[in-house]
């Protein structure tokens, strides 16, 4: 069965362009023209991925992104923000709100499809392998669950992969480019700053168990996982 993409976009021409290209690439497409329609569509059927316009007529896209991330059912749905704005801060805001990636309009359909495919691959990581314990942290690749000191620590698919990689390569320092290669797989379209945002999200996800300090920043070099908590 092909993956179902929910396109949330109010401009008819762009909605049409997106649908056409996604269908051509073999995806099933549903469209919504505003945030209310998007919520309705998500209630009816959980999409495999959401393409979300930043500027919607009834509610900011960023609010819809936060709504998706706040509920257990939709927390892990991959999310790409579509934005006409090109400033670095807007991209970062979108990623902080829970988006996994962003595309700036006007976009190349080829690039968009590549990003969609890349994100879907990341969502179905097929990591497999044994559960890993490090300090108070427990990660199970089979169930995609992380617990810290016995407490469930929900996190997005990218944070999970990132944590899995870092835990299986503990005490070693990895630069942003290396992490993009290892965790994202193809970093043709992903900027290195994206890594920093996901590291922040990962630390935040570990915080309920007070384990964010396991992720060390090594100045000028990158990041390292260590059960020695950073002060």
For Ca ion, the binding residues (CB under 5 A) are 10, 53, 55
Shortest CB 11 distance to Ca ion, Å: 5
Residue 115 dihedral angles phi and psi, to the nearest 5°? -65, -40
Q: How far is the CB of 6 from Ca ion (least distance, A)?
A: 15
Q: Taking the mean position of all CA atoms in its chain, how far away is CA 216?
A: 21
Residue 114 Cβ vs Ca ion, minimum distance, rounded to whole Å? 23
| Closest to Ca ion by CB, 76 or 93 | 93
Q: Which residue in 165, 186, 15 sits closest to 194, CA to CA?
A: 186
Shorter beta-carbon distance to Ca ion: residue 57 or 177: 57
**DSSP assignment letter at 174:** B
Residue 65 or 202 having the CB closest to Ca ion: 65
Residues 6+ apart with CB under 8 A from 231: 213
Alpha-carbon distance 18 to 9, whole Å? Answer: 9
Provide the greatest CA pair distance for the chain.
53
Chain residue whose CB lies nearest Ca ion: 55
CB of 54 to Ca ion, least distance (A): 7
CB of 12 to Ca ion, least distance (A): 11
CA nearest neighbour of 142 among 115, 162, 160: 160
For Ca ion, give the closer residue by CB, 6 or 137.
6
User: Which burial class, exposed, middle or buried, applies to 182 when counting CB atoms under 10 A from its CB (0-12, 13-18, 19+)?
Assistant: middle
Report the residue number, 53 or 159, with the smaller CB distance to Ca ion.
Answer: 53
């Amino acid at each position: 069965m092909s993956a179902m993409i929910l396109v949330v976009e109010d401009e008819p021409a762009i909605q049409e362009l997106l649908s056409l290209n996604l269908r051509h690439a073999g995806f099933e497409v549903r469209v919504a023209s505003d945030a209310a329609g998007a919520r309705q569509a998500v209630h009816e059927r959980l999409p495999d991925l959401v393409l979300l316009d930043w500027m919607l007529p009834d509610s900011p896209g960023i609010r819809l992104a936060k709504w998706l991330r706040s509920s257990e059912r939709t927390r892990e749905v991959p999310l790409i923000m579509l934005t006409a704005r090109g400033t670095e801060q807007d991209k970062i805001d979108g990623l902080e709100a829970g988006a996994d990636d962003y595309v700036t309009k006007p976009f190349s359909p080829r690039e968009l499809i590549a990003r969609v495919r890349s994100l879907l691959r990341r969502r179905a990581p097929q990591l497999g392998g044994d559960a890993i314990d490090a300090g108070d942290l427990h990660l199970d690749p089979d169930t995609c669950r992380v617990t810290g000191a016995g407490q469930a620590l929900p996190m997005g698919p990218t944070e999970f992969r990132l944590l899995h990689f870092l835990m299986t390569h503990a005490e070693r320092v990895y630069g942003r480019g290396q992490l993009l290669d290892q965790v994202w797989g193809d970093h043709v379209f992903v900027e290195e700053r994206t890594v920093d945002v996901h590291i922040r999200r990962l630390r935040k996800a570990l915080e309920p168990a007070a384990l964010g300090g396991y992720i060390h920043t090594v100045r000028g070099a990158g990041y390292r996982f260590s059960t020695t908590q950073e002060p």
